[in-house]
Amino acid sequence: MIDGIIFKKTSAMPKLYKENLLAAPHLLAGPHTQHMDEDELAPGGYNPLKTLLFWRAPARPYRKKDRSYYTTVAILLILIALIALLAGEKLLILVLLALGFIVYVLNFIPPEDIDYKISNQGITVRDHFYHWDVLDSFWISEKDGHKLLNVLTLLTFPGMLIIPLGELNEDEIKRVCVRFLPFHEIAPKSLIDKWADSLQKHFPLENPHR
């Protein structure tokens, strides 16, 4: 008591996360997962590095495209290149050629499998480490039959991590990541994303698969 002011002992600071937010404890019982105590999982402080999840998966989502995809892309690039040639934009033609080469490489050559790791300190993609302090939030999506972990970052580049889950359980990845980052039940989309989705819906680059 100081000058008539009584200080009462308060309870400890609240935890930064809660148990069982998305699933039962048995979801962490996969072969790649190590069980951890709550105090060990708390971000910050002087906790030793603890691996929570480790898996191998392709470096990017991949699905082999059919001939119609490459034909459509080639026609579009040729038309734009002709317009650029008439306008005297030779630099744009070189950019289109480079773009065509990148599209070919990304969609024709399958990606290699790489290592992914989630620890109490952050996320590691191959040999690139991202601390939880530079990550903003996450959600799960699906593309070309692949489940993806999408993580927004606070960095200029990359602005978002897109990580294939491979054979890793979706609920398992949610249970671990939700302890450190907010989870989006509905994936946030920018105006460009919405425009791209609408364009792909009305003007598909390949024939629909039956």
Does pLDDT of 6 surpass 60? no
d(CA 30, CA 133): 27
Question: Over the range 150-167, which residues count as b (16 or more CB within 10 Å of their CB) and which as e?
Answer: bbbbeeeeeeebebbbee
Give per-residue pLDDT as tens, 42-51.
455 557 889 9
Domain membership of residue 6 (yes or no) is no
Domain membership of residue 209 (yes or no) is no
Categorize the per-residue pLDDT at 174 as very low, low, confident or very high, splitting at 50, 70 and 90.
Answer: very high
Residue 88 sits in the same domain as residue 164: no
Q: How many CB atoms lie within 10 A of CB 28?
A: 19
Domain membership of residue 152 (yes or no) is yes
Look at the chain and report how many structural domains it folds into: 2
Residue 31 sits in the same domain as residue 129: yes
Residue 89 sits in the same domain as residue 188: no
Domain membership of residue 128 (yes or no) is yes
Residue 71 sits in the same domain as residue 140: no
pLDDT at site 163: 96
Categorize the per-residue pLDDT at 158 as very low, low, confident or very high, splitting at 50, 70 and 90.
Answer: very high
Residue 75 sits in the same domain as residue 159: no
Burial class (CB in 10 A: 0-12, 13-18, 19+), 66: exposed
Share of the chain above pLDDT 70, in %: 69
Among the residue ranges 74-83, 172-181, 193-202, the one predicted with the least confidence is 193-202
Residue 134 sits in the same domain as residue 55: yes
DSSP 2: B
Residue 169 sits in the same domain as residue 76: no
17 sits in the region (left: phi over 0; alpha: psi -120 to 50; else beta) called beta
Q: Look at the pTM and tell me if it is higher than 0.75.
A: no
Q: Tell me the CATH number at 164.
A: 2.30.29
pLDDT at site 200: 65
Residue 175 sits in the same domain as residue 90: no
Give per-residue pLDDT as tens, 77-131.
888 888 888 888 888 888 888 888 888 888 888 889 999 999 999 999 999 999 9
Domain membership of residue 166 (yes or no) is yes
Domain membership of residue 181 (yes or no) is yes
Alpha helices, H only, the chain: 38-41, 67-86, 90-108, 170-177, 191-202
d(CA 53, CA 75): 44
Residue numbers of the domain that contains 99: 67-108
Domain membership of residue 192 (yes or no) is yes
